[in-house]
């Protein structure tokens, strides 16, 4: 058994996300210590063999790697730096990982404060929701030192099937914010698609089935996120033909949807923006249809 696997892991916050994540660590060889303000949230873990801690400080003195899943920046600060916080007792070399989505500035500030105690801090936000946590299939984006990443990679692999070292402290949060930007802009686009379909007399629940089915095969928006740069694509680059084809198809379909929307008197501001920006966003410039629309 490696030295890393002998380290006790602590988990603070056993809510909708934290509980299924921590459940994947119950059989961690070094032992699991859990902490939550709700006794009923702790009980299933102690029944399964984990140890309970009354406060973050009590947990901090027992564990070498600590995961934190609480609500927001203020709660994270309280858990890490408060009177009963982790830094009151955490030993030098301990790694504190925050999985909550917080400000990247908060992550950097906490990283500096932890460093002053000889403690490693990583911001490690997660993507995939509770179902992925239950399956051990979360994506975990880690911002921190290489040594800290090495320390957390194996325990995080219990609840995450993709564990990425995003870079320095703060980088994990920045990656999560970029990922969620796509997520919620896509939700807004989905609302436009539903308005268009509803105005056209279509069953929007059936449309939803089609979208989920096709995205499961095409990969959705992530399918085009394969390049290492957002710079314009040179004409002789392999990607120019591929992304140019995507642009031409997209502009055609967007123009047809906007024509339908005009006849149905439905406003589609995101669709107009997409028509004009798609080519530049893909790095191949606007196509003929977008140029005609300007």
Q: Which fold has domain 175-293?
A: 1.10.1040
Q: How far apart are CA 294 and CA 88, in angstroms?
A: 61
**pLDDT (mean) for 93-116:** 97
Q: What percent of the chain has pLDDT over 90?
A: 97
pTM (predicted TM-score): 0.91
Q: How far apart are CA 250 and CA 245, in angstroms?
A: 8
Helix segments in 8-103, DSSP class H: 18-23, 39-47, 56-60, 73-81
Q: In which residue ranges of the chain is CATH 3.40.50.720 found?
A: 4-168
- How remote is the C-alpha of 188 from its chain's centroid? 18
**Longest Cα pair distance anywhere in the chain, in angstroms?**
68
Q: Catalytic residue at 176?
A: yes
When pLDDT is cut at 50, 70 and 90, the band that residue 3 belongs to is low
Residue 51: the pLDDT is 98
How many CB atoms are closer than 10 A to CB 162? 14
Q: In which residue ranges of the chain is CATH 1.10.1040.10 found?
A: 175-293
Q: How far apart are CA 168 and CA 44, in angstroms?
A: 35
Arithmetic mean of pLDDT over the chain: 96
Selected catalytic residue, list 91, 176, 252, 291: 176
Assign domain 4-168 to its CATH superfamily.
Answer: NAD(P)-binding Rossmann-like Domain (3.40.50.720)
Q: How far apart are CA 245 and CA 243, in angstroms?
A: 5
């Amino acid at each position: 058994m490696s030295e890393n696997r002998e380290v006790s892991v602590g988990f603070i916050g056993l809510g909708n996300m934290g509980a299924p994540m921590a459940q994947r660590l119950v059989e961690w060889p070094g032992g699991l210590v859990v902490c939550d303000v709700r006794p009923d949230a702790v009980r299933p873990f102690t029944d399964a063999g984990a140890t309970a801690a009354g406060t973050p400080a009590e947990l901090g003195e027992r564990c070498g790697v600590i995961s934190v899943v609480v609500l927001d920046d203020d709660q994270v600060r309280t858990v890490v730096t408060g009177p009963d916080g982790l830094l009151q007792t955490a030993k030098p070399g301990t790694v504190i990982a925050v999985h909550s989505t917080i400000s990247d500035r908060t992550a950097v500030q906490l990283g500096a404060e932890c460093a002053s105690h000889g403690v490693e801090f990583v911001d490690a936000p997660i993507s995939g929701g509770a179902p992925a946590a239950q399956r051990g299939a979360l994506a975990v984006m880690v911002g921190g030192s290489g040594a800290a990443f090495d320390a957390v990679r194996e325990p995080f692999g219990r609840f995450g099937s993709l564990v990425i070292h995003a870079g320095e402290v703060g980088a994990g949060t920045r990656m999560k914010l970029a990922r969620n930007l796509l997520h919620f802009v896509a939700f807004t686009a989905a609302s436009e698609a539903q308005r268009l379909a509803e105005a056209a007399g279509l069953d929007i629940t059936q449309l939803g089935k089609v979208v989920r089915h096709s995205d499961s095969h095409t990969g959705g928006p992530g399918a085009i996120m394969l390049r290492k740069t957002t710079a314009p694509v040179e004409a002789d680059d392999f990607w120019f033909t591929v992304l140019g084809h995507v642009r031409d198809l997209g502009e055609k379909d967007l123009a047809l949807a906007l024509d339908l929307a005009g006849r149905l008197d439905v406003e589609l501001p995101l669709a107009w923006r997409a028509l004009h920006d798609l080519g530049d966003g893909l790095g191949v410039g606007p196509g003929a249809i977008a140029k005609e629309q300007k």
